[in-house]
Amino acid sequence: MTPRIRTHIGLLGLTEAALLSAVSWEGQVSRRFLVERTGFSKSKVVAAIANLLEAGLVRESGPSESTGGRRSEQLTLHPDLGVLLAVDLGATSLDVAVLSLDMTPLASHHEAADVRHGPGPVMTRVKAIMKTLLARLALLPDDVLAVGMGVPGPVAFDSGLLVNPPIMPGWEGFSIRDDLAAILGAPVFVDNDVNVLALGELWAGRRFAENFLVVKVGTGIGCGIVCGGRIYRGADGAAGDVGHICVDPLGPVCHCGNVGCVEAMAAGPAIAKEARAAAESGESAVLAELLKSVGSLTPVEVARASREGDMVATAIIQRSGVLLGRMLASLVNFFNPSHIVLTGGISLMGPLWLASIRQSVYGRSLALSTRHIELRLSRIPDRGGLVGAGVLALNSTLEAAKARSL
Amino acid sequence: MTPRIRTHIGLLGLTEAALLSAVSWEGQVSRRFLVERTGFSKSKVVAAIANLLEAGLVRESGPSESTGGRRSEQLTLHPDLGVLLAVDLGATSLDVAVLSLDMTPLASHHEAADVRHGPGPVMTRVKAIMKTLLARLALLPDDVLAVGMGVPGPVAFDSGLLVNPPIMPGWEGFSIRDDLAAILGAPVFVDNDVNVLALGELWAGRRFAENFLVVKVGTGIGCGIVCGGRIYRGADGAAGDVGHICVDPLGPVCHCGNVGCVEAMAAGPAIAKEARAAAESGESAVLAELLKSVGSLTPVEVARASREGDMVATAIIQRSGVLLGRMLASLVNFFNPSHIVLTGGISLMGPLWLASIRQSVYGRSLALSTRHIELRLSRIPDRGGLVGAGVLALNSTLEAAKARSL
């Protein structure tokens, strides 16, 4: 991106910023569609698009396929706007990618990481990988429009600082934004991993819904909330921390100190623990054999045992689904989402798990709330984090421009 | 309101509509404050206010008290805008009021009602009372700027129709909006009672928070949700139906068919039932005596017995608080509100009930979510419904003007 273009983004009018945002979400779009989507008048849209073309922020990409009537010129973001840097930091993994403005990966890198080592070593790797990827594409730091990063802990979004991150000791108060800004001129946006996943789902479904939840089930359980088409973060940035909702007042003690937390009873470690107990007690011969051959039991083996007809494994999966469904039923009654999208490692356990969740949610939620609800698995389970980080970067940049132009 | 003013509201620009809305929330406000509050530039505010003054929608009410420096002219809504009609329909009561634009009641009427009689008889009374109140103030239907009404059932807000209202058989698909529009030229807005209560709290606290909950505990339990400073209604208008969240998988069967619903265990009827059982079994002499002298036991008598030192009554109140707190803890973990405001008949039970709720919420929610949370009783327990209906009317009228000007 040229400095001229960066200046133009900084000086966008309200209408221009809103239209640029709409073009980015649609990918390719006609003026007529923009009128319908934004509610602006036709003359306002035509004038603002002329400004955006003049400033080099959008370009015309030729007429659309005919659907009868006059074919209209299609608009896309101008490639000179640059590329996006996306970072998906997990508890034990690090993914970095360079994305084009339509979230296509141009270059990417994956490696193991340990967030417990603190920001020093982790961020050193992030920056080194960024440099390598940009160099591989013959791009300069100035070609980066914005950076988006998801982290496995609560983030105060406005300051970009981590707040009390339970699995990220040493990161408290560390500014990822300042750290990355030191090597890049581009704006940096940081958010919690489930919020980033929710943005990825919004993108994959082209803003398919206004009010929905993305629930990640892995070692822990977290929830990204989309409210009115935007990520909802709560009063202290702690919204969506659903792993410690109680689903059984007589349940086991969780590491948080409370009893019956859904995370302690239905997430990965609980499933693995139950499977090992069933294997070691001789209750399930299939699981015992898998434990012997694989060396350990994870939800993957439990799902395999269930597919092979093992009743104990099937019961373990159903129990996880029922307990998760009980928690989700509370959210459905309260929030009345149109969709719940399930993602994370455990969501790969298969259709039985999903069916148990559905049954539990429908059984416990009110008719009006479940009349139209869609409860499904993510369609981008492997790349939700990187796509979401790219969307965070692009979206936040355009939102910031909109806010400045008020 | 003159037809000229109604036309002006219909033709407001985006900036003008936003400023008019800000003036209405603040009551009395300087141009400088509007610049800070809305983020618009000073010149934009000055120009738009000139338009609003010219159109007769606001007026200058003299300089503010000096706080040092030049005293600035204060702006208020122009009284010629008219009055608001507010209707608060409960399961067994009907309140109607004429309010000024700052929500001061100019005339009001209360009577018993039974929503189960259906829209015919109830709406006939609503319209008759409206006519009487307007006549008493020597006002005409044309003086009414807008009408707001709260009803004890789920409302599809855009259409204004009731959807599957469980305690309002016969109202399904009935249009309160069309019915009232037949006698008034003003726009009519209808919403669920807890959403209306939430608007009342927003007003009473002068938009004190962006993200908070208003929980009404009476015969049932409902929740109004404010998200980003606006009422959140969910995908089907069913959000906030928290009465059937499960707080005990081994609890009693609720009228909804599920077990352990918080409404079945912690609301008014459950408290009354437990009190009667304690009185009849001889477990509590105080409650037995109250049952004999009063003839029935409601939460009011239970609170009285507790104040008189009765341990059984105290235990009943604490149990209600603990179970409610368990449900609220789930909402706090999920939604991370800055405030929870309790209202409804049961909220008058006193400090012991509130203390039990607080203890339960703090015990079960995560530290980050409860760090700043304020859990308190409503400061307008008696008039939240009418004030809220007035705010619904004024607010929705200005919002509609804003939407039209895009």
Nearest to A243 by CA among A216, A261, A255: A261
CB contact (8 A) between residue A234 and residue B403: no
Residue with tokens 């005293």: B71
CB contact (8 A) between residue B326 and residue A364: no
Considering the domain B82-204+384-404 in this protein, what is its CATH number?
3.30.420.40
pLDDT band at A75 (very low <50, low <70, confident <90, very high): very high
Q: Give the number of beta-carbon pairs within 8 Å between A and B.
A: 163
Q: What are phi and psi of A184, to 5 degrees?
A: -130, 145
Q: 3-state SS string over B116-146?
A: HHCHHHHHHHHHHHHHHHHHHCCCCHHHEEE
CB contact (8 A) between residue A236 and residue B337: no
- The tokens for B74 are 């204060």
Residues of A whose CB is below 8 A from B363? 258
CB contact (8 A) between residue B244 and residue A366: yes
Cα angle B65, B66, B70; round to 5: 125
* Partner residue opposite A238 with nearest CB, options B223, B327, B366: B366
| Contact predicate B239/B225, CB 8 Å | yes
* Partner residue opposite A236 with nearest CB, options B39, B228, B336: B336
- pLDDT(A10) > 80: no
* Partner residue opposite B364 with nearest CB, options A209, A232, A258: A258
Which pLDDT tens digit goes with each residue over A184-231? 889 999 999 999 999 999 999 877 889 999 999 998 999 999 999 899
Which pLDDT tens digit goes with each residue over A351-378? 999 999 999 999 888 777 787 899 999 9
Closest approach of chain A CAs to the CA of B99, in angstroms? 31
Closest approach of chain A CAs to the CA of B34, in angstroms? 13
pLDDT band at A71 (very low <50, low <70, confident <90, very high): low
Per-residue model confidence (pLDDT) at position A143:
92
CB contact (8 A) between residue A236 and residue B40: no
Q: What are phi and psi of B167, to 5 degrees?
A: -100, 10
Q: How far apart are CA A292 and CA A208, in angstroms?
A: 45
- The region that residue B336 occupies, defined by phi over 0 for left and psi between -120 and 50 for alpha, beta otherwise, is left
Q: How far apart are CA B205 and CA B207, in angstroms?
A: 6
Per-residue model confidence (pLDDT) at position A4:
58
Q: How far apart are CA A115 and CA A254, in angstroms?
A: 22
Query: Looking at residues A15-28, what average pLDDT do you find?
Result: 87
| Contact predicate A3/A44, CB 8 Å | no
CB contact (8 A) between residue A338 and residue B211: no
Q: Where are the beta strands (DSSP E) in A133-174?
A: 144-151, 155-156, 161-162
CB contact (8 A) between residue A369 and residue B236: yes
| Contact predicate A244/A263, CB 8 Å | yes
At position B311, the amino acid (one-letter code) is: M
Residues of A whose CB is below 8 A from B240? 334, 336
Question: Which residues does residue A217 pair with via DSSP β-bridges, in sequence order?
Answer: A221
SS3 A226: strand
Q: How far apart are CA A170 and CA B63, in angstroms?
A: 53
Alpha-carbon separation of residue B287 from A240, B267, B292, B353 (angstroms): 43, 18, 9, 18
Residues of B whose CB is below 8 A from A406? 38-40
Which pLDDT tens digit goes with each residue over A136-150? 999 999 999 999 999
- The tokens for B73 are 């002219």
Among chain A residues, the shortest Cα distance to B340 is held by A235
* Partner residue opposite B239 with nearest CB, options A236, A335, A371: A335
Residue with tokens 């900084």: A10
Residues of B whose CB is below 8 A from A329? 245-246
| Residues of chain B with confidence (pLDDT) below 50 | none
- The tokens for B69 are 């420096």
* Partner residue opposite B245 with nearest CB, options A39, A333, A406: A333
| Contact predicate B392/B196, CB 8 Å | yes
CB contact (8 A) between residue B234 and residue A163: no
> At a CB cut-off of 8 Å and minimum separation 6, what does B51 contact?
B13, B16
> At a CB cut-off of 8 Å and minimum separation 6, what does A238 contact?
A154, A163, B336, B366, B368, B369
Per-residue model confidence (pLDDT) at position A185:
85
* Partner residue opposite B154 with nearest CB, options A239, A326, A368: A368
Residues of A whose CB is below 8 A from B334? 223, 225, 239-242, 245, 330-331, 334-335
CB contact (8 A) between residue A211 and residue B249: no
User: With 0-12 CB in 10 A as exposed, 13-18 as middle and 19+ as buried, what is A250?
Assistant: exposed
Residues of B whose CB is below 8 A from A337? 234-235
Which CATH architecture describes the domain A82-204+384-395?
A: 2-Layer Sandwich (3.30)
Residues of A whose CB is below 8 A from B212? 235
Closest approach of chain B CAs to the CA of A118, in angstroms? 21
CB contact (8 A) between residue B242 and residue A333: yes
Interface test with B, best of A366, A375, A404 (most B CBs within 10 A): A366
Which pLDDT tens digit goes with each residue over A292-332? 999 999 999 999 999 999 999 999 999 999 999 999 999 99
* Partner residue opposite A235 with nearest CB, options B164, B258, B372: B372
Question: Which residues does residue A212 pair with via DSSP β-bridges, in sequence order?
Answer: A226, A339
- The tokens for B288 are 């037995």
Residues of A whose CB is below 8 A from B229? none
CB contact (8 A) between residue B241 and residue A154: no
Per-residue model confidence (pLDDT) at position B215:
97
Question: What is the pairing mode between strands A73-77 and A58-63?
Answer: antiparallel
Interface test with A, best of B14, B255, B334, B362 (most A CBs within 10 A): B334
* Partner residue opposite A368 with nearest CB, options B38, B238, B247: B238
Residue with tokens 């800070």: B36
pLDDT band at A70 (very low <50, low <70, confident <90, very high): low
Q: How far apart are CA B276 and CA B273, in angstroms?
A: 5
CB contact (8 A) between residue A236 and residue B163: no
Q: What are phi and psi of A9, to 5 degrees?
A: -65, -40
CB contact (8 A) between residue B235 and residue A40: no
CB contact (8 A) between residue B210 and residue A369: no
User: How is B240-268 classified by DSSP, letter by letter?
Assistant: T-GGG-BS-TTSPBPTTS-BSBHHHHHSH
Least confident of A169-173, A258-262, B59-63: B59-63
Residues of A whose CB is below 8 A from B368? 154, 163-164, 236-238, 241
| Contact predicate A49/A69, CB 8 Å | no
Which pLDDT tens digit goes with each residue over B331-374? 999 999 999 999 998 887 889 999 999 999 998 887 777 878 99
Residue with tokens 């000139």: B50
CB contact (8 A) between residue A337 and residue B234: yes
Query: Would you list the domain boundaries of chain B?
Result: 3-80, 82-204+384-404, 212-377
Closest approach of chain A CAs to the CA of B367, in angstroms? 9
Q: How far apart are CA B250 and CA B323, in angstroms?
A: 13
Among chain A residues, the shortest Cα distance to B373 is held by A235
| Contact predicate A93/A113, CB 8 Å | yes
Among chain A residues, the shortest Cα distance to B322 is held by A249
CB atoms within 10 A of CB A169: 12
CB contact (8 A) between residue A238 and residue B406: no
CB contact (8 A) between residue B368 and residue A248: no
Which pLDDT tens digit goes with each residue over B75-102? 999 988 899 999 999 988 999 999 999 9
* Partner residue opposite A235 with nearest CB, options B237, B245, B337: B337
* Partner residue opposite A330 with nearest CB, options B239, B330, B366: B330
- Name the DSSP class of A175: B
CB contact (8 A) between residue B236 and residue A372: yes
- Sheet with A339-343, strands from edge to edge, namely A230-232, A221-227, A212-217, A339-343, A374-377
CB contact (8 A) between residue A372 and residue B335: no
* Number of continuous H segments (helices) and E segments (strands) in chain B: 15, 15
CB contact (8 A) between residue B240 and residue A326: no
Per-residue model confidence (pLDDT) at position A55:
85
Question: Which residues does residue B84 pair with via DSSP β-bridges, in sequence order?
Answer: B99, B146
Q: How far apart are CA B83 and CA B99, in angstroms?
A: 6
Output A5 or A29, whichever has higher pLDDT.
A29
Considering the domain B3-80 in this protein, what is its CATH number?
1.10.10.10
- Examine domains A3-80 and A82-204+384-395 and report if their fold is the same: no
SS3 content of chain B, % helix, strand, coil (to 5): 50, 20, 30
> At a CB cut-off of 8 Å and minimum separation 6, what does B320 contact?
B265, B266, B267, B270, B271, B346, B349, B353, B356
Residues of B whose CB is below 8 A from A214? none
- Report percent pLDDT > 90 for chain A: 64
The CATH number of domain A212-377 is 3.30.200.20 = no
Task: Tell me what the pLDDT averaged over chain A comes to.
Answer: 90
Nearest to B176 by CA among B261, B115, B119, B113: B119
Among chain B residues, the shortest Cα distance to A234 is held by B336
* Partner residue opposite A331 with nearest CB, options B329, B334, B366: B334
pLDDT band at A106 (very low <50, low <70, confident <90, very high): very high
